[in-house]
């Protein structure tokens, strides 16, 4: 029962039925919560071992969104701490459940906070561009609209999976004027755009932002026209391992998302590539909007060290 719930969540994340860095993170916490509730482990050590195995499995579902390991580690670090304290199995179970709830609540509150903070940057009359589908970005735009601001949003389709269509539909439903454009039309419209706002799957210690493929292309175009480029991201998108020199892995997805099986068979000499994310260097980013405030990308490392002291401590030991 437990194992199958974890596998269901693993498959839902891998197949992108559940997608977007924040939602992935919450889905993992929900799966661990359910695992803790229904576990038949006989001892606290067994319970922690079981949850650790499930957590590691969930982390393997998609490689780029650092929100996923950050969510799992938040729960597992707490579980291991309780185990070291010598608590009984039922206390430990309750503690894990409350850690999962805590992560999920923090996550939804963070998105609301980002909406409130980011909406201050939206001005009536703005033309805004966004790429892909980010709930943090959507929250900013919907909040600004609810405050009575009138603006127009250009949404890129976001090939090959067209997540831009989701964004466009949600914004339109919330009374926001919206246009959907092919990704390749971004430069044509950029000179009219006041600000670009995108989400993030991971943020590195040097302030670089990893987000949906095509984000860095849009950032370069925005730079050319001196258009402001904002990133909206909860702090669990910060990648503490990048402080230790690790690189964020870029997910390579199936070529079948780009061309059909029959096209591939008819054209065996063509290698189809489908990277899902890219890296936008700090110098193309004006602001990173988090639930803890607005940061220049070059300053994000200080927030990272404050929120994730462990990797640095480990490296120094």
Q: Site residues (CB under 6 A) for ligand RUB?
A: 19-22, 65, 132, 134-136, 163, 199-201, 211-212, 276
Annotated active-site residue 201? The verdict is yes
- DSSP, collapsed to helix, strand or coil, labels residue 158 as coil
- DSSP, collapsed to helix, strand or coil, labels residue 277 as strand
Alpha-carbon dihedral of residues 91, 92, 94, 100, nearest 10 degrees?
160
Least distance from ligand RUB to the Cβ atom of residue 56, Å? 21
Least distance from ligand RUB to the Cβ atom of residue 137, Å? 6
Sign for the CA dihedral angle at 252, 255, 256, 258 comes to positive
User: Which residues are paired to 197 by β-bridges?
Assistant: 230
Annotated active-site residue 278? The verdict is no
Which one is catalytic: 100, 183, 201, 286? Answer: 201
Q: Return the number of the residue (96 or 140) whose C-beta is nearest ligand RUB.
A: 140
Least distance from ligand RUB to the Cβ atom of residue 189, Å? 20
CA-CA distances (angstroms) from residue 1 to 5, 31, 36, 37, 161?
6, 11, 12, 11, 32
Phi and psi at residue 168, in whole multiples of 5°? -60, -45
Per the structure block, which two tokens stand in for 96?
């894990």
Q: Which residue is nearest to ligand RUB (CB)?
A: 199
Q: Return the number of the residue (197 or 243) whose C-beta is nearest ligand RUB.
A: 197
Which one is catalytic: 100, 132, 183, 286? Answer: 132
Least distance from ligand RUB to the Cβ atom of residue 279, Å? 12
The β-bridge relationship of strands 228-232 and 209-212 is unpaired
Q: Return the number of the residue (12 or 97) whose C-beta is nearest ligand RUB.
A: 12
Q: Return the number of the residue (150 or 251) whose C-beta is nearest ligand RUB.
A: 251
Task: Note if the bond before 74 is cis, omega within 30 degrees.
Answer: no
Per the structure block, which two tokens stand in for 272?
């189809």
Active centre residues (catalytic): 132, 201
């Amino acid at each position: 029962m437990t194992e199958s719930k974890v596998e269901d969540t693993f498959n839902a994340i891998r197949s992108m039925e559940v997608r977007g860095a924040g939602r992935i993170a919450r889905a993992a916490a929900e799966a661990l919560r359910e695992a803790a509730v229904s576990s038949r482990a006989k001892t606290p050590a067994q319970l922690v071992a079981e949850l650790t195995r499930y957590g590691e499995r969930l982390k393997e579902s998609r490689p780029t969104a650092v929100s996923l390991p950050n969510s799992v580690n938040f729960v597992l670090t707490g579980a291991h701490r309780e185990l070291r304290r010598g608590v009984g199995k039922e206390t430990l179970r309750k503690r894990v459940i409350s850690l999962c709830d805590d992560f999920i609540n923090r996550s939804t509150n963070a998105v609301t906070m980002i909406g409130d903070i980011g909406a201050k940057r939206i001005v009536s009359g703005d033309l805004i561009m966004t790429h892909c589908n980010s709930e943090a970005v959507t929250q900013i735009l919907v909040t600004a609209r609810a405050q009575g601001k009138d603006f127009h949003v250009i949404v890129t389709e976001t090939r090959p999976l067209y997540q831009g269509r989701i964004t466009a539909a949600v914004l339109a439903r919330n009374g926001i004027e919206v246009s959907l454009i092919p990704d390749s039309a971004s430069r044509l419209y950029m000179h009219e755009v006041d600000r670009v706002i995108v989400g993030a799957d991971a943020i590195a210690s040097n302030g670089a932002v990893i987000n949906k493929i095509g984000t860095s292309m849009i950032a370069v175009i925005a730079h050319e026209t001196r258009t402001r480029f904002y990133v909206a991201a909860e702090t669990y998108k910060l990648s503490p391992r990048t402080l230790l020199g690790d690189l964020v892995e870029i997910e390579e997805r199936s070529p079948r998302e780009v061309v059909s099986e029959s096209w591939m068979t008819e054209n065996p000499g063509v290698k189809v590539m489908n990277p899902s994310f890219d890296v936008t260097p700090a110098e193309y980013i004006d602001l990173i909007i988090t639930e803890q405030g607005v940061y220049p990308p070059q300053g994000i490392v200080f927030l990272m060290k404050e929120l994730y002291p462990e990797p640095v401590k480990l490296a120094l030991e």
